[in-house]
């Protein structure tokens, strides 16, 4: 299968390219000029911006499917980033889908994100499954980080989020990722295409960008340790996440490319992509510090408005329907990541 990988020079995209080659596919990389030059041998490379319709159409010609990874990621610096997030993520996706419709390319695997869920799944002993609202600055300032039951104010037990959970994006990036899914679903219905949205959880591994406000928390900690500084852990470090290795995310894309052909015409389907082994932010910081023989993490009590407290995935759907299983354990992955090369940006 000839597959266009938008953002194919990026952190996740470059790993997908390698996995596609190993699976016998023919990837075509489409990425911005000046992107890191990690070109596997004999891979076709097209420079361009996903918002440029003519460039996208040139790259799409002769392809069978698309892995759409190109996006602006992370929480960003402040709301001033909002126009750029919407432009890159949503307008860029709309341009790509319009070009796919024009050229008759009917299979899409979209890089989605767990951020579309907002706060994760919570259970109250008295009221069952509940949806706490956004955390208030006054509570965060006072160190009250845990969401409480919106009905009775009791403590809640966090749990695993399934793909059928209500969607509730809590920041600009999350909003654009949900819009990408809606655009893909609309494209599938209008054109008879087929789309899979892979809702990545916290991806980490070699090739992560460093020293940028748009990278993930694992990158922040690695960058601090590389400077000989203690990782600064926000809140109390007890935030739960699902850390999934980039090689496992790449293998999920390869599996999804095969599965998308089996969807009904006009169908789109989301899948969580996580390790299935929830850990806290503090645990991750300690693992990295110990593996790199660096200073112990410091819990700062700081917070970022728009961050969620707990979000962990149930990846049962992709395991049962697509027979995908992550191969890298938390301890193994973090030990390797502590010494793995990173990108300058």
Q: Rounded distance, CA 114 to CA 244, Å?
A: 12
Give the residue-averaged pLDDT of 63-86. 89
Average pLDDT over residues 200-226: 85
> pLDDT class for 328, splitting at 50, 70, 90?
very high
- Provide the pairing of β-strand 65-68 with 107-113: parallel
Please report whether residue 107 resides in a domain.
yes
Q: What angle do CA 89, 73, 133 make, to 5 degrees?
A: 95
Structural domains counted in the chain: 1
Is 62 a member of any domain?
A: yes
Query: pLDDT digit string (tens) for 144-188?
Result: 999 999 999 999 999 999 999 999 998 899 999 999 999 999 999
**Residue 216 reports pLDDT greater than 90:** no
Residue 141 lies in a domain: no
Average pLDDT of the residues in 280-293: 96
Angstrom distance (rounded) from CA 104 to CA 106: 6
Task: Quote the pLDDT of residue 35.
Answer: 56
In a domain, 147, yes or no: no
> Quick check: is 144 in a domain?
no
What is the structure's pLDDT at 15?
Answer: 95
Query: 233 φ, ψ to 5°?
Result: -100, 120
Q: Is the pLDDT of residue 42 over 80?
A: no
Backbone angle region of 301, left / alpha / beta, with phi > 0 → left and psi within -120 to 50 → alpha: left
Environment class of 26 (CB within 10 Å of its CB; exposed 0-12, middle 13-18, buried 19+): middle
Share of the chain above pLDDT 70, in %: 94
What residue numbers bound the domain in which 230 lies? 2-120+161-339
Cα distances from 62 to residues 27, 59, 301, in angstroms, run: 11, 8, 52
Note whether 238 and 282 are within 8 A (CB): yes
Question: CA 122 to CA 120: how far, in whole Å?
Answer: 6
Give the pLDDT of residue 345: 61
pLDDT of residue 280: 96
Residue written as token pair 């707990």 = 310
Q: What is the distance, to the nearest Å, from the Cα of residue 233 to the centroid of all Cα atoms in its chain? A: 21
| pLDDT score recorded for residue 214 | 56
| DSSP symbol at 88 | I
Check if the beta carbon of residue 272 is closer than 8 Å to that of residue 120: no
pLDDT at 239: 95
Kindly tell me if the per-residue pLDDT of 36 is higher than 70. no
Examine residue 153 and state whether it is found in any structural domain, yes or no: no
Provide CB contacts within 8 A for 105, sequence distance 6+.
4, 60, 63, 64, 65, 66, 99
**Is 219 a domain residue?**
yes
What stretch of H or E contains 113?
Answer: strand 107-113
pLDDT digit string, tens, across residues 85-138:
999 999 999 999 999 999 999 999 999 999 999 888 999 999 999 999 889 999
Residue 212 lies in a domain: yes
Cβ atoms of 230 and 236 closer than 8 Å: no
Phi, psi (degrees; rounded to nearest 5) at 266: 85, 5
């Amino acid at each position: 299968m000839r597959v266009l990988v938008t953002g194919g020079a990026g952190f996740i995209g470059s790993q997908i390219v390698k996995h596609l080659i190993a699976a016998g596919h023919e990837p075509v990389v489409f990425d911005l000029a000046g992107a890191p030059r990690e070109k596997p041998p004999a891979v076709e490379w097209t420079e361009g911006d996903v918002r440029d319709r003519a460039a996208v159409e040139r790259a799409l010609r002769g392809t069978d499917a698309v892995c759409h990874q190109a996006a602006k990621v992370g929480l960003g610096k402040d709301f001033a980033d909002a126009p750029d997030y919407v432009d890159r993520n949503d307008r860029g996706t709309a341009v790509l889908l319009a070009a796919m419709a024009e050229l008759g390319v009917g299979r899409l695997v979209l890089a989605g994100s767990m951020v579309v869920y907002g706060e994760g799944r919570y259970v109250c002993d008295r009221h069952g499954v509940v949806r706490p609202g956004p955390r208030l600055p006054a509570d965060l300032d006072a160190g009250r980080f845990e969401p409480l039951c919106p009905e009775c104010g009791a403590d809640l037990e966090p749990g695993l989020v399934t793909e059928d959970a209500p969607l509730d994006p809590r920041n600009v990036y999350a909003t654009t990722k949900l819009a990408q899914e809606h655009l893909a679903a609309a494209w599938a219905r209008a054109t008879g295409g087929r789309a899979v949205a892979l809702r990545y959880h916290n991806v980490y591994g070699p090739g992560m960008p460093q020293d940028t406000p748009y990278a993930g928390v694992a990158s922040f900690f690695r960058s601090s340790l590389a400077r000989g500084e203690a990782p600064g852990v926000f809140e109390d470090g007890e935030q739960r996440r699902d850390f999934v290795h980039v090689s496992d995310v790449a293998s999920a894309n390869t599996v999804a490319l095969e599965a998308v052909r089996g969807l009904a015409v006009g169908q789109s389907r989301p899948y969580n992509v996580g390790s299935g082994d929830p850990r806290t932010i503090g645990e991750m910081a300690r693992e990295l510090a110990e593996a790199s023989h660096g200073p112990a993490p410091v819990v700062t009590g700081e917070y970022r408005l728009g961050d969620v407290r707990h979000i962990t995935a149930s990846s049962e759907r992709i395991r049962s329907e697509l027979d995908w299983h992550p191969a890298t354990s938390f301890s193994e992955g973090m030990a390797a990541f502590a010494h793995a090369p990173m990108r300058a940006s």
